[in-house]
Structure 1
Amino acid sequence: MVEAYITIQTGAGTTRDVVEQVRTLDSVRRASIVAGEFDIVAEVEAESERELLTLITEEIQDIEGVGRTSTCIVLG
Structure 2
Amino acid sequence: MVTAFILMVTAAGKEREVMEKLLAMPEVKEAYVVYGEYDLVVKVETDTLKDLDQFITEKIRKMSEIQMTSTMIAI
Alignment of structure 1 residues 44-55 onto 2, 5 Å: 44-55=44-55
Tell me if the contact between 1:27 and 1:46 (Cα under 8 Å) persists in the aligned partners.
yes
- Alpha-carbon offset, residue 14 of structure 1: 1.0
Q: Confirm or deny that 1:37 pairs with 2:37.
A: yes
Unaligned runs of 5+ in 2: none
Tell me if the contact between 1:21 and 1:63 (Cα under 8 Å) persists in the aligned partners.
no
Q: Confirm or deny that 1:24 pairs with 2:21.
A: no
Q: Confirm or deny that 1:65 pairs with 2:65.
A: yes
Q: Confirm or deny that 1:10 pairs with 2:7.
A: no
Tell me if the contact between 1:18 and 1:64 (Cα under 8 Å) persists in the aligned partners.
no
Regions of 4+ moved over 2 Å = none
- Alpha-carbon offset, residue 64 of structure 1: 2.7
- Alpha-carbon offset, residue 61 of structure 1: 1.7
The normalised TM-score by structure 1 is 0.93
- Alpha-carbon offset, residue 27 of structure 1: 0.5
What value does the CA root-mean-square deviation take over the aligned residues?
A: 0.8
The normalised TM-score by structure 2 is 0.94
